[in-house]
Copies of this chain bind each other. A is one copy, B any other.
């Protein structure tokens, strides 16, 4: 269990370090989130390059998503995504029922307001990985109860706009077996 802890502790330190800077406020908070997201982006790019070194070419976008849900997620978070849903029009919803980066926070709704800073790095991570695989995307995350986390991937080219993606999550009824 302690094997992956180094990553987790370092991730927490980074968040603390970035948020420690004196200024705070709405705009500052947005900048911190962006910094974390960018960091995740580059880590994701590096990781996917290493992971796909000996992998066969992907058939299609869904194949890429399955790889992200299984191999990529397992590499970083030591478990795979519990549920992948898609509307087959460029929106994917990845559900992790026990998201590792949130597992050190109390379960429940008490600390929900702090969730964004713990999620932005991994949003970047997914976006970076997908970008290296040639899929431009917008990645957002949503927590309604800790430590479960929904990650929503939207292709900007898809007809739906990103702002609608949250409501569209419910429309992604087609659950896909990723096993």
**A residues lining the B interface (CB < 8 Å):** 1-3, 5-7, 9-11, 13-14, 17-18, 35, 39, 42-43, 46-47, 50-51, 75-76
Contacts and interface: CB of A to CB of B under 8 A. Distances in A.
Nearest to A121: B10
Contacts of A1: 50
A14 B42 CA distance: 11
Contacts of A9: 42-43, 46-47
- Nearest 9 CB-CB pairs, A to B? A9-B43, A7-B7, A9-B46, A2-B50, A13-B39, A6-B76, A2-B51, A6-B7, A2-B75
A42 B17 contact: no
Given A2-B50, A5-B46, A50-B2, A35 B10 contact: no
Which of A10, A39, A47 has its CB near the most chain B CB atoms (within 10 A)? A10
Nearest to A39: B13
A117 to B, nearest CB: 15
Contacts of A10: 7, 10-11, 14, 39, 43
